Amino acid sequence: MREIKFRVWDKQEQKIKHAGFDIDPEGNIWCNHWNLSGFYILMQYTGLKDKNGKEIYEGDIIVLGEETYDLYYKQSDKVIVEWDKKVTGFRPFQSWHSDYEPIEDIEVIGNIYEHPELLKEEK
């Protein structure tokens, strides 16, 4: 079973934070007793790790190895990890079944909040 963990992007401090979370009876998400509405962007752990053993979260920018790139994507070797509600899974991993070992063909190179420049096309 996948471990359920989150991290947040703190909009005010402009940095990623790892913290404990609670959900109150009204459905509000609280991070270390702070309400997440407005100031934080919540990112869920996919349950997967890259080839270096780094945990992969929503919002991460990953580089696909040649084998994975050929199988799943033809436009770019860089992909943003996103929740896909149509298939209830994390894109590009929605159809992958993992034993939670690192994925040897993928590497996390940053995330969309701290490193948006990584998504610019190289010329």
Cross-strand partners of 107: 63
pLDDT of residue 59: 95
Over the chain (123 residues), the average pLDDT of each successive run of 10 is: 78 83 72 66 88 93 71 66 82 62 81 90 54
Q: Could you count the other beta carbons within 10 Å of the beta carbon of residue 115?
A: 12
pLDDT of residue 2: 66
For the entire predicted model, the pTM comes to 0.76
pLDDT of residue 56: 93
**Which sequence spans correspond to the domains of the chain?**
6-119
pLDDT of residue 123: 45
